[in-house]
């Protein structure tokens, strides 16, 4: 992820969404990297380009959410899939808003959220090449030099997706106790909902050394709570 420079103390998109969700009494909680930055650093992590919010699946009408976000200037990010557990909204001037839908699992003892990720290194390369002209990740100079392969890579990617060769599901899993109770904490002038046992949640999600910043942190490789499945 590229470094975001000269960020304001409170990201405007974060401020707007929290204000909207609080006003609408939406049962959300701040999660993942956003919660990590707020608790550990008392600020949003500078190199994290998105805001992470959690919602229990089916507790919110998706059409109502879409209307709320659209009426406030947010656009839904286009994706290849419609049935994973992540919706991303974008608006100029601030970070992306990732809304992660969690569902109960294992007889309600845990909750999980899953997203689609490339199955292998080769699929990661094809994914990068399919976005070559706008690619801004690791090795972007080389990838952009190969932008003449973008059209072919997009076609190849879609073919592999249809044959179920390209993506697998991966995401986070944690005990349901972390979202049974919430508490409101102050982040600058915002009142935000967080798990009541947020210190335990952060330790469970990021490991015993969660207080140590890691710029090159990979949720897929480094988080002890990551789960993966091969079926789409």
Find the CATH number of the domain harbouring 17.
3.30.460
Is 5 part of any domain?
no
Q: Two tokens at 80?
A: 């290849």
Query: Which structural domain, as residue segments, surrounds residue 134?
Result: 120-165
Residue 160 sits in the same domain as residue 174 = no
- The structure tokens 């600020």 sit at 43
- The structure tokens 């992306």 sit at 96
Backbone dihedral angles phi then psi of residue 184, each to the nearest 5 degrees: -100, 125
Residue 46 sits in the same domain as residue 145 = no
Residue 31 sits in the same domain as residue 90 = yes
Average of per-residue pLDDT values in the chain: 87
Residue 179 sits in the same domain as residue 203 = yes
Residue 188 sits in the same domain as residue 96 = yes
pLDDT for residue 89: 95
Residue 223 sits in the same domain as residue 159 = no
- Examine the fold and report which residue of 142, 165, 188 is the final residue of a domain before the chain moves on: 165
Is 6 part of any domain?
no
Residue 63 sits in the same domain as residue 132 = no
Contact assessment for residue 166 and residue 128, using Cβ atoms and an 8 Å cutoff = no
* pLDDT beneath 70: ranges in the chain: 1-9, 80-83, 229-232
Is 3 part of any domain?
no
pLDDT for residue 3: 43
Residue 41 sits in the same domain as residue 134 = no
| Structural domain count of the chain | 2
Residue 100 sits in the same domain as residue 206 = yes
Residue 188 sits in the same domain as residue 101 = yes
Contact assessment for residue 87 and residue 122, using Cβ atoms and an 8 Å cutoff = no
pLDDT for residue 168: 85
Q: pTM for the full model?
A: 0.81
How many C-beta atoms surround the C-beta of residue 150 within 10 A? Answer: 19
Residue 110 sits in the same domain as residue 188 = yes
Residue 30 sits in the same domain as residue 130 = no
Distance between CA 186 and CA 190 in Å, rounded? 6
By DSSP bridging, strand 96-105 and strand 50-56 are parallel
Distance between CA 104 and CA 180 in Å, rounded? 11
């Amino acid at each position: 992820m590229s470094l975001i420079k000269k960020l304001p103390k409170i990201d405007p998109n974060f401020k707007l969404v929290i204000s909207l969700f609080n006003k609408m009494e939406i049962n959300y909680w701040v999660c993942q990297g956003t919660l990590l930055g707020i608790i550990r650093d008392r600020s949003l992590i500078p190199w994290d380009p998105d805001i992470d919010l959690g919602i229990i699946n089916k507790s919110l009408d998706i059409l109502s959410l879409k209307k709320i976000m659209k009426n406030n200037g947010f656009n839904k990010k286009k994706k290849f899939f419609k049935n994973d557990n992540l919706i991303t909204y974008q608006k100029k001037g601030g970070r992306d808003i990732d809304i992660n839908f969690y569902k109960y699992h294992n007889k309600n003892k845990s909750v999980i959220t899953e997203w689609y990720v490339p199955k292998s290194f080769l699929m990661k390369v094809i994914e990068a090449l399919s976005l070559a002209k706008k690619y801004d990740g690791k090795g972007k100079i080389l990838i952009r030099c190969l932008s003449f392969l973008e059209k072919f890579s997009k076609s190849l990617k879609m073919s592999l997706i249809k044959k179920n060769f390209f993506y697998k599901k991966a995401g986070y899993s944690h005990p349901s106790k972390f979202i049974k109770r919430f508490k409101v904490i102050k982040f600058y002038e915002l009142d935000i909902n967080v798990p009541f046992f947020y210190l335990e949640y952060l330790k469970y999600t990021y490991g015993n050394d969660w207080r140590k910043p890691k710029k090159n942190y990979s949720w897929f490789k480094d988080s002890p709570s990551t789960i993966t499945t091969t079926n789409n």
